[in-house]
């Protein structure tokens, strides 16, 4: 009963990890058609073939000259840190004290939370991100504000209330009991409502008592399909602190495992200072890593090892980690991912990079049956890239011969200016008007 409609443009998406399936992992239609029905992908393929099979009255939008990709998946971001992005001079622990905790304090005010949540969701869409896994703050109303903003835009969002009952300021401290009670109420209200999913959110091991770590693990096990998000092994001072707090544990990651916090749908940001035993435990339990390159460079945390994660079979997605990260743009994040891996003697292909930003992220969140590609039946979250967004990008692309070179130019030179349109469940949710809007205008 639902009518078909279609968009015609160059189309790129992934069916698998290019590191495993090589060229077969990617589908590229130089003149492609994305056919939609009721907010989902009906078909995707060469325009010449599909146009012949569609009913004659099917509306087809002509976007030739542009490139359609699945919406980006940001697997780790803090909405309450939007206003402290680009705060100067500190590494993780001092940065938390000096900038983060005071900023998160303001989310005790629901009006402030609602205003930031709206800005945050719009900023994700403006950058082509259609699914995010986000930290709120310790305040339950901060979670309501974020879910309400995402729901109003029909975005996929995984989020949760921060659990933090020690080693933090009084004004941000819950207790094992209140944290559990408030988390339960939020799970009942939001988990599985439309496109929204709940994540139990212990901030990181140093800020939860063993009692609270236990409640987090129990909640995670109790509700079907629930997520868990935290941070691990980001900064060397942090790792040393956890070793002092938990002499019984083999490693920082082991603290989480001892409290029942590993498993499918658990997502750990950073994962820099891990060893192969840790990586093997993450792989065996189905836990995922969120690689956050702009944050890891900005906070001077260290260099993520994608090769070892891959060798041991761990699921990996990409995160902006704003406000430790310095950009909401997944294109800018890919740029810095490339450079982090260069410093680690590793090579990130453009195909692998775009896979990580789309289907790989979806896979790390166990959502690859719903989002991340244009396989039939997937939710129609996609972006329209403008290859002429900036003079330099246009010029460089004119000299790029292969798709691989063109994707690489997009990730190294592109940012929010390249995102011409963002569509959520088949609806156009954001359109860039005027080529250089939001950029410094020429006089």
Q: 278, 321, 379, 415: which one contacts Fe ion (CB under 5 A)?
A: 321
| Residue 165 touching ligand GUN (CB under 6 A) | no
CB 364 within 8 A of CB 356: no
What is the Cα–Cα distance from 408 to 281, expressed in whole angstroms?
Answer: 33
Q: 129, 229, 295, 320: which one contacts ligand GUN (CB under 6 A)?
A: 295
Q: 70, 202, 324, 426: which one contacts ligand GUN (CB under 6 A)?
A: 324
Pick the piece of the chain touching ligand GUN (CB under 6 A) from 13-21, 92-100, 217-225, 435-443: 92-100
What is the Cα–Cα distance from 234 to 14, expressed in whole angstroms?
Answer: 30
| Residue 333 touching ligand GUN (CB under 6 A) | no
- Of all residues in the shown chain, the one whose CB is closest to ligand GUN is 324
List phi, psi (to 5°) of 175.
-130, 170
What is the Cα–Cα distance from 380 to 36, expressed in whole angstroms?
Answer: 7
Q: Least distance to Fe ion from the beta carbon of 227, Å?
A: 15
| Residue 234 touching ligand GUN (CB under 6 A) | yes
| DSSP code, position 307 | H
Answer positive or negative: Cα dihedral of 60, 66, 69, 75. negative
| Residue 74 touching ligand GUN (CB under 6 A) | no
Which helix (H) or strand (E) segment holds residue 131: the answer is strand 129-135
DSSP codes joined into one string, 141-201: HHHHHHHHHHHHTT-EEEEEPEE--SSS-GGG---HHHHHHHHHHHHHHHTTSTTEEEEEE
Q: Least distance to Fe ion from the beta carbon of 160, Å?
A: 13
| Residue 78 touching ligand GUN (CB under 6 A) | yes
CB nearer to ligand GUN: give 78 or 406.
78
Which residue, among 363, 398, 416, has the nearest Cα to 73 in the 3D structure? 363
- Window 198 to 227, contacts with ligand GUN (CB under 6 A): 203-204
182 binds, among Fe ion, ligand GUN, none (CB under 5 to 8 A by kind): none
| Residue 161 touching ligand GUN (CB under 6 A) | no
| Residue 231 touching ligand GUN (CB under 6 A) | yes
377 burial (CB, 10 Å; 0-12 / 13-18 / 19+) is exposed
266 burial (CB, 10 Å; 0-12 / 13-18 / 19+) is buried
| Residue 234 touching Fe ion (CB under 5 A) | no
- Window 244 to 303, contacts with Fe ion (CB under 5 A): 269
204 binds, among ligand GUN, Fe ion, none (CB under 5 to 8 A by kind): ligand GUN
CB nearer to ligand GUN: give 321 or 368.
321
Binding mask 13-32 for ligand GUN (x = CB under 6 A): --------------------
Binding mask 93-112 for ligand GUN (x = CB under 6 A): ---x---x------------
Q: Which long-range contacts (CB under 8 A, 24 or more apart) does 40-44 make?
A: 40/377, 40/378, 40/379, 40/380, 40/425, 40/426, 41/374, 41/375, 41/376, 41/377, 41/378, 41/379, 41/380, 42/4, 42/376, 43/376, 44/11, 44/13, 44/374, 44/375, 44/376
165 binds, among Fe ion, ligand GUN, none (CB under 5 to 8 A by kind): none
254-17-154-147 Cα dihedral, nearest 10 degrees: 10
Q: What is the size of the binding site for Fe ion (CB under 5 A)?
A: 2
Q: Least distance to Fe ion from the beta carbon of 230, Å?
A: 9
| Residue 294 touching ligand GUN (CB under 6 A) | no
| Residue 75 touching ligand GUN (CB under 6 A) | no
203 binds, among ligand GUN, Fe ion, none (CB under 5 to 8 A by kind): ligand GUN
Residue with tokens 């930290």: 135
**Rule CB under 6 A: which residues touch ligand GUN?**
78, 92, 96, 100, 203-204, 231, 234, 295, 321, 324
**Rule CB under 5 A: which residues touch Fe ion?**
269, 321
């Amino acid at each position: 009963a639902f009518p078909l409609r279609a968009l015609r443009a160059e189309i790129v998406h992934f069916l698998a990890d290019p590191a495993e399936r090589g060229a077969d992992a990617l589908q590229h239609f130089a003149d492609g058609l994305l056919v939609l029905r009721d907010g989902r992908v009906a078909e995707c393929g060469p325009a010449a073939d599909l146009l012949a099979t569609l009913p004659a009255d099917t509306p087809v939008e002509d976007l030739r000259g542009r490139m359609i990709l699945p919406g980006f998946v940001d697997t780790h971001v803090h909405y309450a840190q939007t206003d402290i992005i680009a705060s100067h001079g500190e590494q993780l622990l001092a940065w938390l004290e000096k900038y983060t905790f005071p900023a998160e304090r303001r989310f005790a005010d629901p009006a402030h939370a609602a205003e930031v949540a709206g800005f945050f969701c719009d900023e994700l869409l403006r950058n082509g991100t259609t699914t995010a896994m986000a930290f709120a703050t310790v305040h339950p109303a901060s979670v309501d504000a974020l879910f309400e903003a995402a729901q109003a835009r029909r975005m996929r969002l995984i989020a949760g209330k921060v659990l933090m009952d020690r080693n933090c300021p009084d004004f941000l401290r819950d207790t094992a009991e209140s944290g559990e009670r408030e988390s339960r109420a939020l799970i009942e209200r939001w988990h599985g409502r439309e496109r929204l999913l709940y994540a139990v959110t212990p901030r990181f091991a140093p800020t939860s008592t063993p009692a609270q770590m236990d409640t987090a693990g129990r909640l995670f096990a109790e509700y079907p399909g629930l997520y868990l998000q935290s941070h691990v092994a980001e900064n060397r001072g942090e790792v040393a602190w956890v070793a002092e707090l938990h002499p019984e544990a083999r490693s920082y990651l082991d603290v989480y495992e001892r409290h029942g916090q590993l498993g499918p749908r658990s997502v750990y940001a950073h994962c820099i200072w891990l060893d192969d035993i840790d990586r093997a435990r993450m792989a065996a339990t189905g836990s995922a890593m969120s690689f956050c390159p702009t944050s890891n460079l900005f906070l001077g945390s260290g260099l993520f090892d994608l090769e070892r994660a891959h060798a041991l079979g761990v699921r990996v997605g990409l995160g902006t980690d704003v406000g430790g990260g310095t950009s909401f743009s997944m294109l800018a994040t890919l740029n810095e991912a490339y450079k982090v891996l260069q410093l680690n003697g590793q090579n990130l292909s453009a195909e692998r990079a775009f896979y990580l930003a789309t289907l790989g992220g979806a896979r790390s969140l166990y959502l690859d049956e719903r989002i991340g590609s244009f396989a039939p039946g997937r939710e129609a979250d996609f972006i329209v890239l403008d290859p002429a967004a900036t003079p330099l990008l246009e010029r460089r692309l004119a000299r790029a011969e292969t798709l691989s070179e063109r994707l690489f130019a997009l990730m190294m030179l592109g940012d929010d200016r390249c995102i011409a349109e963002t569509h959520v469940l088949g609806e156009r949710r954001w359109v860039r008007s005027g080529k250089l809007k939001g950029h410094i205008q020429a006089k």
